[in-house]
Chains A and B, each alone.
Chain A
Amino acid sequence: MNTAESSTADFVLQAKNLNKAFGAVIAANEVDVAVPRGAVWSLIGSNGAGKTTFVNMVTGYLRPDSGTILFNDKDITGLAPRNITRLGISRSFQIPQLCAELTALENMLVSLSSANEQASFFRPAHSTQSVANATEMLERFRIVDYRDRTMAELPAGVRKLLDIAMAITGEPQVLLLDEPTSGVAAEEKYPLMDLVMEALDGSNVTVMFVEHDMDIVARYSQRVLAFYDGQIIANDTPDNVMQDDSVRRYVTGGAVATPGGV
């Protein structure tokens, strides 16, 4: 880790010595990381390695057993998810969390009204302005054709995009994407990630995404955090992480380089 010598002012998000156990299972073991503003990082690791636990702790779904989480140098450890969202950390979900009975447009309207300081008891949810804003967001993610369809009628990729679109309506400073391409057809993965990155382009949002597809990781992230057994075993550029013996042994499953080239 290289956080100690750096100025904290450069970091939008810092996790310090996070620990979390579920009975005998250690989900986070002294997790220590500092994320610079505007960075695009990915989180890799096998199932149960602690990636989603990290995301859940940062976004307030889980309270760490010990350790602190700083957002813009403010301690946010243990705050409720809605308070963390209001501060500027949003997330999307591995399984898209949409409102099943509402249309895509209405899902966007809910997220837009939630992004306001206080949703109004009187201001119509379907006001011309709100509908225009929601439609514009759907257009940005190229899913406007589905605006009047409910979740059951949406393809998996569209659900993912809608879930992510909802997460960014509040103009977050940090966006955590939990497996944005899981459940999406192979040929749709790159277009989906391209759309997300395009939507975030120029916004200086710090993005951390959990991903299993190493091609996606290599193509879209500037830095990779590799998790194993609740610990961060590598924190480096994608190329270096892919070459790391521990990562190859515990995460990617590739051949481990041995001395002498045997």
Chain B
Amino acid sequence: MSATAYGWVVLAAPLVGMLIIALGWRVLPGRSAGWLGSAAIGVSFLASVGMLIRLLDSPEESRALVSSAYNYVETAGFRADLSILVDPLSVFMCLVVSGVSFLIHLYSISYMTSDQGFARFFAYLNFFVFSMLLLILAANFVLLLVGWAFVGAASYLLISFWYRRGTATAAGIKAFVINVIGDVGLVIGAFLLFDATGALDYAGIFAAAPEVFAENDGKLVAACLMILVGAFAKSAQLPLHTWLPDAMEGPTPVSALIHAATMVTAGVYLIARCHPLFELAPTAADVGAILGTATLIFAASVALAATDLKRVIAYSTMSQIGYMVLGVSIGAYGAGLFHLMTHAFFKALLFMGAGSVIGAMSGIQSLDRMGGFRKAMPFTFVTFTIGALALASFPLFSGFFSKDEILAYALERGGLYAILGVVGYIAALLTAFYAGRMVFRVFFGASVPEAQELERGQLAHGTHANPATGEEEDTDVGFPGAEHHIAEREWPMKAAMAPLALLAVVAGVLGIPGVTDTLEHFLEPTFEGSRFAEVHPSTSAELIGLAVGGVVAIIALAAAYRYFTGDPQARVATRERFAGVHRVLINKWYFDEIFDRAIVRPVAAFGRFGRTVVESAIVQGVLVGGTVGIVRAGTSLARSIQTGELRFYAALLLMGVSGLILYFLLVSS
């Protein structure tokens, strides 16, 4: 089989899985929907490996293959095939997405066992993976848009999966709305590019771009900024980030899959994919780099104060994606994507661990209520700690190599970028601190009642309550079912977490400075023409960067250890001393409030405007005033039936005609 044939299999497997589960859920017994869904993703992963092998077999120059199924859209102006692009970048993304997705499917089989919507969950999950792979493999903007919108829809379905929970549907809608803003940006960007280059496929656009656009051409910058809107909405970067923390209303495996490992990295992928454009429009790239840096420090600061375990991890995700966006915006493509991969491993692992802990807490997510789970949950403790160490970029863990490579690049490019790099190091300090905070607050300290019960061999059973509002809920439709499940007792959960823990430790070997550069070398054909191909920090500079990063991580972790396992009184005292800062952080820098004032309320007013002015005013006839009089005589016939309206229609007709005639007389000679 050729590489592209494998590519089609990658796409087909989850689609088939989704259709079988969606159509046959009534007859699928027990957990078989879950196994079927997992098997479909497993096939996808194997096919991705097939693509990789075929690609490695072929010479480097011919590692970008396009295959068309059929002609999707063809008109006089343009054609867009239903075609996939198999090149190192897409193969790399497919491997990460299908691999992590497979493990998360496996985890979900246990986690969602007693949920009433078990089969529905796997149908959605397969649909999501299909959409994500479509987005990655698309060879033109049309198909990319299809995948892009599908992914948004799948995310909506999964966030609102427990649709009886009001906060979950609200969160789903919020995510969908922001995603649609992103879609609109991407559509406009694609058409601006089409307008100038006459092509919609990547190859055509990238080939034509240098000829039609001068450097920093206004139109190109506009197109790139629009693409950034799309990327930032998907990747939850400032200022389109507010949906991600709320998206934690979805089941925990969803958070692990969509809101940590895969979908939110789509923006990073898009910027990397469009790198020839961003290199021609450095202004847009700088905007990306600055906003990415702003996000990474902002989110890290909020993660310090958030008390909901899943939300802490969510802010951490935003922050880490900020690093990736910074990386791919400054030309450090290999480093940015390297971090994307290691992050997918350790962040999925952290979410899975959090899911296990939440199971032990019978659904409670607040850090304030947790503590002392170290002995009761040894497996979760070890794996979660590994994930946290990788996140904190503790020396020799995977995150250590990938994050510091991005920062080393930033410093190497100097100027503005050096400042961004320094901010990155400061955020790294915060990152290690909140990573430590999670571990020390959940697993250390005095055992909470739930932990004690677990030590006695029983899983706590509390009332089911919405973690966001505290309302009691019944378990008929989820949350996630009447029974909770923890990794210690479910082998599929263990089987999913163990490989990720291993990868979170060793994945760094793909890019140790001066020793290996496997990943970067593999991705080289995609980024061949890049003008930053030659910009590369020296090995010694990278090693210095690593040393600084390691020291920062160790100091922060030590501080966190002292602070969180020490005297609780001291913590209260500190919080009181910095009450103002704490309030800003707890309120997420008031972004939600600003959005509410600036956007939500005006939009609601627009809706009311639609009803009151566009429609009701007609009934009342307030607006018409004098014009009504003019036509009154003519329409007295209809006065018996709803007098005002018809007259108003005629009045409006008259005004419209007058406007049109006036215009045409103005343009006439």
Partners in one complex: no
Residues of B in contact with A (beta carbons under 8 Å apart): none
